[in-house]
Amino acid sequence: MTVPTLYDWLGGAPALERLFTIFYERVPNDPLLGPVFAGMSPDHVQHVAAFVGEVFGGPKAYSSTHGGDAPAHANMVKQHVGRALTDAHRKRWMQLLLECADELGVPNDPEFRSAFVAYLEWGTRLAMINSQPGADVGGESPMPAWGWGEVKGPYLPPQA
């Protein structure tokens, strides 16, 4: 038996695009997140959906348009530079995205949700770190790859 990827289990590109479309439609009206995403690119939803899809085992849609594996991940990391995200921003981003996931019927089995939330926790914490003034985001790390309970992506030691 072949184990499906998280991407396939979630429903592929259509499910990710629906999730991030609904999420980013709500962001401008959110008092905490709205200012962070003011001036968001019209392609933002497609970029985020492609990035997360690739992380979850889908096609290399994000990497293929952003220079390959490590440059693509570096490109996503650099999108957060200078935004000075707080833990309140991070928590609200997670809360709102998970509310949208529940409303859309994203799989809620414990195994999938564990992997899904683990990636969101890791990614939002990394975004928060890389958004701080003076953050060193010069290195290129490979694109993370998330699976069913194991991480196949870059390990970054905790910042002191």
- Domains detected in the chain: 23-130 (1.10.490.10)
Res 64 pLDDT > 70: yes
Contact by Cβ (8 Å): 56, 107: no
Q: Residues with Cβ < 8 Å from 97, sequence gap 6 or more?
A: 19, 23, 120
Q: Residues with Cβ < 8 Å from 38, sequence gap 6 or more?
A: 28
The residue among 70 and 42 whose pLDDT is bigger is: 42
Contact by Cβ (8 Å): 106, 71: no
User: What single-letter DSSP state applies at residue 48?
Assistant: H
Q: How far apart are CA 123 and CA 51, in angstroms?
A: 11
144 — pLDDT class (breaks 50, 70, 90): confident
71 — pLDDT class (breaks 50, 70, 90): low
* 75-79, 97-101, 129-133: least confident range: 75-79
Contact by Cβ (8 Å): 153, 143: yes
Q: How far apart are CA 6 and CA 57, in angstroms?
A: 6
| Cβ atoms within 10 Å of 144's Cβ, excluding its own | 20
pTM: 0.86
Q: What is the pLDDT averaged over residues 3-11?
A: 95
Contact by Cβ (8 Å): 16, 49: yes
Average confidence score pLDDT of the chain? 86
93 — pLDDT class (breaks 50, 70, 90): very high
